[in-house]
Homo-oligomer: A and B are copies of this chain.
Amino acid sequence: MIEPKVLKGFRDTLPEIMIIKKDLIKKLEKTFESFGFLPIDTPALEYTEILLGKGGGETDKQIYRFKDHGGRDVALRYDLTVPLARFIAANYNDLVFPFKRYHIAPVWRGENTQKGRYREFYQCDFDILGVDSINSDLEILLVIKNGFDNLNITDYIININHRKLLNSFLEKFGYLEKSTDILRVIDKIYKIGKEEVLKELVDNVKIPLKDGEGIIEFLNIEEDKKIGIQGDSIFEKLEKIMPLLNESGKNAIKELAFIFNNLKELNILQYFAFNPAITRGLDYYTGIVFESFISDRMEFGSVCSGGRYDNLTSLYSKNRVSGVGASFGLDRLLALLESKNIFLPKKSITDVIIFCLDENLTSYYHKAAEILRKNSINVEVFFEPKKIINQFKFAEKKDITYVMIAGEMEAKKSTFNIKNLKTQEEKKELTIEEIISIIKGK
């Protein structure tokens, strides 16, 4: 006998979780489609050369890579962004730009599983490609907001920054070549605290104390909160830092002002914050960047992040395609909703079960079931004339609300008895039409 075990870092999804996950996906798909985003799909397997691109770094070590039957060097995709770049380059002439796509699919990374991380997980990406206008950045933020709304999550804050801000500031004060080191130290603020960060900036990065304090003030960071500046203070802060920046930084301020002004006019500024400390790593993004947190669940980290990038397809094509996009962390969202009891696991999606009292009535039971299904009611028919107590036990285990029962007598009158297992209420000899209105009236 072979032990039926799954690989480390992988897992089965049982129905009660899968129902919630599918519901989550459905709500996000609906959100994307309400903005005109279109679904695409790409292969799970690609040429390794395509997935690794310039290569180097963590990805090379984590990627599932092997030789296929034809001796090709292939690998499983580890994200949906590299396949998107390849997709855009390959299908450039068949697409209408600006191209808005979403892609919800699993990716694979052979990474350390210690921190509750999985080696197979879903990504849920949406991007607007082929447009530079800051108006598309605004739309991506509106999509995120609507996504949270449609998931019935209320206490979220979307933190926004601009990649050119800090660079401009550092450049103006002559610290640009030290920006990597500075960012590395600053990233530790939530672990080691403000004092320690300042100390490291002075001792290790060799920045005068005064300038170190200036950087920390510019970034507006505090060790005890990850959420940035909110409300009208945003506009004050933007104005205050404007003189500290060069031309590129001033443009970034204008873009941020456009975003925040529109959010204010749309009466939704309270869901957003300006957080000059957010960087989203060092490469890749070139403009607006953002991360989203749930106020009372900061420990989950960002549940939706993204930003603007300049030239997605440069590795595969001469056509320059810029864009802006974001990604919902589906598995993180699932864990979060579970922790907040927003979705409760369901044992079934069945509205009513028809018991089997008499095998000769099989077609009578199925006929009734078909009529209910035509009325958008989910119905099960119990398969065997087992003891009625066992059929009730099954219905309870599966958490089904309604039970329909008919023997020869009821069948002759084209009726069923119905019982609500939640209220224990029973009604005798109802027609199918009466039963439909009871179930739908619920």
Residues of A participating in the B interface, judged by any CB pair closer than 8 Å? 1-8, 10-15, 18-19, 21-22, 29, 33-36, 38-47, 49-50, 53, 61-62, 64, 66-70, 72, 74, 76, 85-87, 89-91, 94-96, 98, 100-101, 106, 108, 110, 119-120, 128, 131, 133, 135-136, 138-139, 142, 146, 258, 261-262, 265-266, 313, 315-318, 347-350, 353, 356, 359, 362-363, 366-367, 370, 373, 376-381, 383-384, 394, 397-398
Picked from B15, B42, B64, B261, the residue with its CB within 8 Å of the CB of A12 is B42
- CB-CB under 8 A for A7 and B45, given A12-B90, A38-B15: yes
Q: In whole angstroms, what is the CA distance A74 to B76 when docked?
A: 13
Residue pair A142, B14 in contact (C-beta under 8 Å): no
Residues in chain B near residue A380, CB distance under 8 A: 35-36, 100
Q: In whole angstroms, what is the CA distance A316 to B5 when docked?
A: 9
- CB-CB under 8 A for A15 and B34, given A2-B50, A383-B133: no
Residues in chain B near residue A22, CB distance under 8 A: 29, 39
Residues in chain B near residue A367, CB distance under 8 A: 265-266
Residue pair B349, A379 in contact (C-beta under 8 Å): no
A101, chain B: closest CB distance, angstroms: 7
Residue of B nearest to A43 (CB): B10
Residues in chain B near residue A377, CB distance under 8 A: 34
Residues in chain B near residue A370, CB distance under 8 A: 142, 146, 266
A296, chain B: closest CB distance, angstroms: 26
A61, chain B: closest CB distance, angstroms: 8
Interface of A is mostly: mixed
Picked from B10, B74, B258, B318, the residue with its CB within 8 Å of the CB of A7 is B74
Residue of B nearest to A352 (CB): B36
Residues in chain B near residue A348, CB distance under 8 A: 36, 38
Residue pair B89, A4 in contact (C-beta under 8 Å): yes
- CB-CB under 8 A for A131 and B42, given A3-B316, A5-B90, A266-B367: no
Residue pair A349, B38 in contact (C-beta under 8 Å): yes
Residue of B nearest to A362 (CB): B262
Residue pair A64, B53 in contact (C-beta under 8 Å): no
Picked from B3, B6, B39, B86, the residue with its CB within 8 Å of the CB of A15 is B39
Residue of B nearest to A136 (CB): B383
Residue pair A362, B19 in contact (C-beta under 8 Å): no
Residue pair A72, B7 in contact (C-beta under 8 Å): yes
**Top 5 A-B residue pairs of the complex, sorted by shortest distance between their CB atoms:** A66-B66, A15-B38, A265-B363, A36-B380, A4-B89
Residue pair A4, B86 in contact (C-beta under 8 Å): yes
Residue pair A43, B366 in contact (C-beta under 8 Å): no
Residue pair A362, B90 in contact (C-beta under 8 Å): no
Q: In whole angstroms, what is the CA distance A131 to B307 when docked?
A: 52
Residue pair B315, A2 in contact (C-beta under 8 Å): yes
Residues in chain B near residue A313, CB distance under 8 A: 4
